[in-house]
Amino acid sequence: MGVWATGLYAGDFALDLRSTLGAVAKLPFDSGRLLDILCQSEPAAARNPEDSDHATFWLVVADQFAKRGIENDRARETALEIIDSGSDLKMLEKLGMQPPDLRKRKKVLEEVRQRILAPQLKTSPREVLKAPQPLLMNTGDVLVYPTFGGRCRNPYFVDQNNDRMGTAAAPWQADSWAAMVIVDSGRAFDFLTWYRPLTVAHAVPEKPTLATLHEDMLWKLGRPGTSSASHFKRMGIEKIAEVAIDREKVIKSLGEMRPGISAAVSDISLANQLSVGPYSSKARLGEPGNLASIKPGRPFPTVIGLRQILTDA
């Protein structure tokens, strides 16, 4: 959190945590389990009092629980201890916050204290998922989707004409195609879906077929992400085939694949991983099959040809 942020939700960490909590609160678990999941999602902030985001973590969790009518003694008592001890103000002062802003922050903390001590009364039960989210894609699915100079459509815009990547840019218009193979997928806590895509590294002018995708082309491994049915539709994703993924080959060629639990809990969109060249920089691609080339600033492992990861290749 920046030292200039006096409001509880004025910093990026607090905003991201609030979004994460919104997703976690949909799970049909008791408050203790929900809190454990949140702590697992931000272990340093939750467990280390010396972490600069420690106080913000507990204040946001307690505040959001109170607003949502979720009773949890541990969250409430930890937040109250942080307020009463002045540890939040001490950390912000250490980070450089000036006295006028510290006074503003103190008022914010008093407001948080009042909300925690007098949580919102809920007249109806918390809305939770009654069934696991449907898997829109499965491991081994081969899918294609349109791009604009390699950039996939931003699914958060209902009208694609509003997807401009800045007010001066032209609106998104499909002029090329990309493809992906889902190399791993699953559900976090048996409810929240996630997918890990292997995408072509560069867009092509014509809609790909399975035959063209079997050619020696460069593929990059993305990070896990989530997708709702509406986002899936807006991005124009189409399934064209299924292939058999050899997990051992994937790990050998592209490295270990951690489950996408964090992406599912934080509701990180799969769209973040689907843009390809020329929109995505070549500098971010590792050398094909060379895991040692994956360093900060070059995060995407690559392979040449799908045969590197298929069981029947």
* Domain-embedded: residue 91: yes
| Partners of 97 in the β-ladder | none
Is there a domain that residue 162 lies in? yes
- Same domain for 63 and 206, yes or no, is no
Q: What 8-state DSSP symbol labels residue 178?
A: E
- Using CA atoms, how far residue 268 sits from 44, 128, 256, in Å, is 20, 19, 20
Segment 129-139, tens digit of pLDDT: 999 999 999 99
* Residue 1 is assigned to a structural domain of this protein: no
Boundary-marking domain end, from 55, 85, 117: 117
Please indicate, yes or no, if residue 129 is contained in any of the structural domains.
no
Cα-Cα-Cα-Cα dihedral of 298, 265, 195, 161, to 10°? -80
Residue 249 counted as domain residue: yes
Overall domain count for the chain:
2
- The per-residue pLDDT for 27 is 94
302 and 156 share one domain: yes
**Do 169 and 239 belong to one domain?**
yes
Please tell me the predicted confidence (pLDDT) of residue 124. 76
Same domain, 184 and 101: no
Q: Please name the residue that has the structure tokens 């931000």.
A: 42
Report which secondary-structure segment, H or E, holds 185: strand 176-188
Judge whether 207 lies within some domain.
Answer: yes
State pTM to two decimals: 0.82
Residues 161 and 268 in one domain: yes
Does one domain contain both 249 and 189?
Answer: yes
Same domain for 55 and 146?
A: no
Average pLDDT of 59-86?
Answer: 95
- The tokens for 285 are 């691609």
Please indicate, yes or no, whether residues 167 and 251 belong to a single structural domain of this protein. yes
Q: The domain containing residue 296 runs over which residues?
A: 141-308
Q: What mean pLDDT do residues 31-58 have?
A: 95
Same domain, 24 and 159: no
**Domain end among 52, 83, 117:** 117
**Amino acid sitting at position 163:** D
CA–CA gap between residue 234 and residue 158 (Å, rounded):
7
More confident residue, 289 or 227: 227
Residue 167's pLDDT is 64
Q: What is the pLDDT of residue 166?
A: 67
Would 313 be classed as within a structural domain? no
pLDDT, tens digit (0-9, with 9 covering 90-100), for 74-99? 999 999 999 999 999 999 999 899 99
Give yes or no for residue 5 having a pLDDT over 60: yes
CB 73 within 8 A of CB 41: no
Least confident range of 162-166, 198-202, 208-212: 162-166
User: Mean pLDDT in the chain?
Assistant: 92
- 126 has pLDDT over 70: yes
Domain boundary residue, one of 83, 117, 151 = 117
209 and 283 in a single domain? The answer is: yes
Query: What confidence tens digit (pLDDT) does each residue in 11-22 have?
Result: 889 999 998 999
Same domain, 65 and 162: no
Q: Is the pLDDT of residue 72 over 80?
A: yes
Do 113 and 145 lie in one domain? The reply is no
Longest distance between any two alpha carbons in the chain, whole Å: 67
Q: Is 182 helix (H, G, I), strand (E, B) or coil?
A: strand
The answer to which of 53-57, 116-120, 175-179 has the lowest mean pLDDT is 116-120
- Residue 128 included in any domain: no
